Structure 1
């Protein structure tokens, strides 16, 4: 048995010395090259995984940012500045004559309060002066409107759903007028309830689309007018 093992070893030794066959050092060099290839492949795979990980992190960060912006947009206050054309019913229930009145409305339409609200308007609001006491400087309503739109934070806070209504003029006198402005540009600046975040937004108040609009008094206004007339008659009687 010992002799057979010696013969095998002797044959292997001869095999390594076969002409044209790689030597032991050459096999070591091949093994080193294969090791280098495996290491390079592993490095490429690791780099690809790293890039994918960074991409996923970036996507996750962007998704979190959008979610935070959506949450802020949902919770932040919003100030609406607009014209409101209202129709005041006649004194008699069957009286077809109604009076249209133009209001400037400032309203908090967000879900949280708005603080330190400052407003500017260009050009300044103008009226026909009909039914008003003297000039604009003598008209308390116009003086108040000028103060509100002076650019100073006259309005300290408006809670969600709260609004301020200012009578500007009779609808018939201002809508379509060639003497009075038909378009106003308003800028509203205000902060959230914490006072940390501040917002600035433009608003366009345009009377031209209302020129041929049909407006009727609301049912509740008609009822209220009739109830006032009934009360007046009872007081007289």
Structure 2
């Protein structure tokens, strides 16, 4: 967390790698990251298998509470939460501020499902963020939407120094969704818990990520090549940095 004072943070998982083989805008968003953490034990183990070991796994749901707790007494840090279902981000805001003892989260907004494709709703969200003079923007819209939206719009939010794309973390901060037990997360079984508790939300994502294991194997054998249609696509696994 000592390094997270400015720039963009993404949390890499196998689903991100699936989209990075297909979405040039997502690749460009990853190029702009200051920090990329491993949001998955499988990414952590995969990098170790490839001889590019990192220090630890660090999910968005670990990073966000560490960040606001670190800055609980810092009046120069003002967080805005964008994402989750209507009312959930506000619930997270109230819970965090109650624990912090001050308004460290200065604003919250749960947009519609069509948010990223609605210029009017995007403009309203940006107005809210700027009005709050937020210095940190936490976005939970799911990948690749959240990353692409941040990169396309961050220049319109001049007070925002830190941006994070963190998926379901706002739900966790609101305690609207319960995280997997620690022992499951530590052993790479958090996906099992999510599939059992929210199958409609996660089944497609985890079916897609089976491709991750082929990508790791191809990389180990020296056979991996970025998809030609993405031009100069980076091999993101080589760029992963511990948070």
- Tell me which protein shows more strand as a share of its residues: 1
For Structure 1 versus Structure 2, the TM-score category normalised by the shorter chain is under 0.3
Higher relative contact order (CA 8 A, sep 6+): 2
Q: Normalising by structure 2, report the TM-score.
A: 0.22
More helix by share: 2
Which has the higher Rg, Structure 1 or Structure 2?
1
TM-score (normalizing by structure 1): 0.22
